[in-house]
Amino acid sequence: MNEQSPRYIPTDALRAESGSEELVNSESMKPYMELLMAEMGGRDTSRALAALAALPLEQRYVWRVISALKWGLCDLETENVAADIATLSEQDLKSVAEPLALRAMQFSLFVKALVGDTQGREIMLQALACQDN
């Protein structure tokens, strides 16, 4: 991947995925938004961090991501993928294939943020290596 210089994108040119606004404005995201606003405003973050620390794991952002992966992949069967590929229209195949690069990047960033750069890189490399087995 080539390193590119950051480029300016006006906020009115940003687009959000369907459903993302609902998630950002959900009750479970309020503690995270309060933390972000405190950080951006240069204010004390201890109250927001304490609110997050009080949340049970099942109400945390990381749990939402891990749960989505569980429900999306718990019954992964590549033969089912092959069957879908053989029966999807060209447009439907494009619709499901198009977001793969973004989702792979997001997942990699999530893993690295959760376990750190070195361990995250190792996890991703192990995942790629299992393709050869």
Boundaries of every domain in the chain: 77-133
pLDDT at 95: 94
pTM: 0.76
Q: What distance separates the 2 farthest-apart alpha carbons in the chain?
A: 55
High-pLDDT (> 70) share of the chain, %: 95
84: pLDDT confidence band, cut at 50, 70 and 90?
very high
CB contact at 8 A, 115 and 103: no
Q: What secondary structure does DSSP assign to 10-30, as a single string?
A: -GGG----TTHHHHHTSGGGH
Residue 132: alpha-carbon gap to chain centroid: 26
The secondary structure element, H or E, covering residue 122 is helix 117-129
122: pLDDT confidence band, cut at 50, 70 and 90?
very high
pLDDT at 27: 85
Name the token pair of 81: 């993928």
pLDDT at 132: 60
Q: Of 60, 42, 43, nearest to 51 (Cα)?
A: 60
Model pLDDT for residues 40-81, shown as the tens digit of each residue:
999 999 999 999 999 999 999 999 999 999 999 999 999 999
